[in-house]
Structure 1
Amino acid sequence: MGSGKVGSTIGFLAASHNIDDVTLINDHKNKAVGEELDISNAIPEDSQFSVVGTDDISKIKDSKVVVIAANNGKIKTGRMDLLKGNLEMTRDFAKNIQKYAQDARILVITNPVDIITYFVQKESKLPRENVMGLGSNLDSSRLRYLLAKELDTKQSEIHDSLVLGEHGDTMVPILSRAKYGQKLISESLDSIQKEKITNDLKRYWAKIVAMKDVSSVFGISKIAFDMIDAVLNGDELSTPASVLLEGEYGISDVCLGVPLVIGKNETKIQEIELEKSEYDLLQNSAKFLRKQIMNC
């Protein structure tokens, strides 16, 4: 749902990697059909799959995966700027998902992603583990990049880069688990470096927007593709993402980023050990999101 820069890039990755049929849905039919015409040229010669562009939302019928990537606004000061316009739109999407694709796994990209994920799950009435918001997995990739830059090494040398909580200002970088090679990164960074990395992580989106006038396209699209691949092909994927919690980490009735294991038939929430300061920050993130949800 949504065939803008992100939606069409995900469609391109799925089609070019011969993963399944792709349906691009957009309010503006010509936009969706135009992307169909373009992406179809990237389908491998031996592929049995096709790409279709349409404005008919009923075409999601019996989909295995539905990606919500539509956007109805522009970030100025933060992702919460998008809440009013995107909430009404995605609530309507959720009702159509319930009508046409009750067995689908839902990947939510639309921001503010944790709040949108919450209402999509509630409105669609799908099992909580079938509705996942993509944000903390993107933040984790960004943290890996920032750590590699700070330590003047390649990203491949950074392991267990993990960010939990809100995809926003209350996000929680789990620096206690990150490693440079086999060594804990927390042993290599002082408090000033950690604070700088955390601040740079929270404003990473703003730097991208300032330089290219749009936030993440390729990063979030690749993350979505990896999750789609895990669901369709059954190769388990360990990644943080936003899901509705029911007591995990002492948090209930809010969606935020936690570690998941995603497979063909199920999504499992992983509870990992956190330092007390990290745990407290995660509670604060949940408190902030719960307040925003109550105000909707």
Structure 2
Amino acid sequence: MMCLISIVGTGRVGASIAFLCVSNGLDDVLLVNTTKEKAIGESLDVASAIPANSKFSIRGTDDYSELIGSDIVIIAASVGIYTKHRAENIDHQVAMIKNIAKKIKKYCPSAIVLLVSNPLDVLTYFFQKTTGFSRFKVIGIASSLDTSRFRYYISETLSVPQSSVSNALVLGEHGDSMVPIFSGVSVGDNPLFSMIDSRDTITDNVRNYWRTLRNFKSRSQFGIAKNVFDVVDAIRNKKEISIPASVVLDGEYDEHDVAMGIPVIINQNGVSEIQKIKLDDTESSSLKKSAEKIRSDIKSVHD
């Protein structure tokens, strides 16, 4: 059965996600952008990547009414570029997400919504509150990207292939308070803690990955695009994927009324399970501080 994957925001990230969906023949793709020409241009470019045996298409528009029939909506829109931290444009980004949320509620209220825009956890929270959608169908995709970066730095630190690193997770804020979970990580058959002296250097590297990357290019696009694609593929093909992602919490990890990255299982219906994992005392304390940071950002928003 065909479905429609809609992507709101056709910058580098949105276009990269569209490319992966189209080139892998997932489904019809709609690009929505405030500048119609940008959406059409990206759709024309990506259309050249449609496999010869694919029955699917891609098109671009600035008309939100074309979201009707969308099964999955990905939000990768932004009002500006952050340079110091992900929450520096918070008021404008929240205003943007509320506006988008009202349109999605109007035109495709049954869609599963994947958020990519920053500040990721704050926007996930406000989108869910604005729409009243099930919290299990409003999912912020970023902690899985941070997890990829955590795994990368472990492999670089120990000079081992990433494939030898298992059970790496990053929870909490997609921001400077994110919490790499060291206690469950194994490298080969050995616990990570038996192979490193301190968690501080790796933690700092993971939190500052985006800043390091920006020393060499303007912003990241491919890592987050692949992480989003993996979730879309799982939803579309009725598979399960186990990743950390941001959802609004209602008692899980002793947190209420805040969205942050926690381990979840996602299937064709959205989040099917919030997984409870064991944390050591340092991780539990850091996760509590991360939740408070997100909650503080939420309260700072000026309507």
Determine helix, strand or coil for the equivalent of 1:88.
helix
CA distance in 1, matches of 2:90, 2:215: 21
**Structure 2 equivalent of residue 20 of structure 1:** 27
TM-score, normalised with respect to structure 1: 0.97
Q: 1:56 aligns with which of 63, 67, 81?
A: 63
TM-score, normalised with respect to structure 2: 0.95
Per-residue CA distance 1:25-52 (angstroms, 9 max, x = gap):
0111111111111111111111111001
Compute the displacement of 1:84 (Å).
2.1
Compute the displacement of 1:225 (Å).
0.3
Determine helix, strand or coil for the equivalent of 2:89.
helix
Compute the displacement of 1:62 (Å).
2.0
Q: Is the 8 A contact 1:40 1:50 kept in 2?
A: yes
2:245 counterpart of 1:241: yes
**Structure 1 equivalent of residue 223 of structure 2:** 219
Compute the displacement of 1:266 (Å).
3.9
Q: Is the 8 A contact 1:74 1:81 kept in 2?
A: no
Q: List alignment gaps of at least 5 residues for structure 2.
A: 1-7
2:260 counterpart of 1:253: no
Q: List alignment gaps of at least 5 residues for structure 1.
A: none
Q: Which amino acid counterpart does residue 282 of structure 2 have in structure 1?
A: S
Q: Is the 8 A contact 1:243 1:255 kept in 2?
A: yes
Determine helix, strand or coil for the equivalent of 1:79.
coil
Matches within 5 A, 1:174-253: 174-191=181-198, 194-214=199-219, 216-253=220-257
Determine helix, strand or coil for the equivalent of 2:258.
strand
Q: Which amino acid counterpart does residue 39 of structure 2 have in structure 1?
A: A
Per-residue CA distance 1:182-218 (angstroms, 9 max, x = gap):
2111111112xx211111111110011121022x200
Compute the displacement of 1:83 (Å).
1.1
CA-based RMSD: 0.9
Q: 1:156 aligns with which of 163, 170, 180?
A: 163
Matches within 5 A, 1:1-296: 1-191=8-198, 194-214=199-219, 216-267=220-271, 268-296=273-301
Determine helix, strand or coil for the equivalent of 2:278.
coil
Determine helix, strand or coil for the equivalent of 2:136.
helix
Greater share of residues in helix? 1
Q: Which amino acid counterpart does residue 279 of structure 2 have in structure 1?
A: L
Compute the displacement of 1:119 (Å).
0.3
Determine helix, strand or coil for the equivalent of 2:31.
strand
Paired residue total = 293
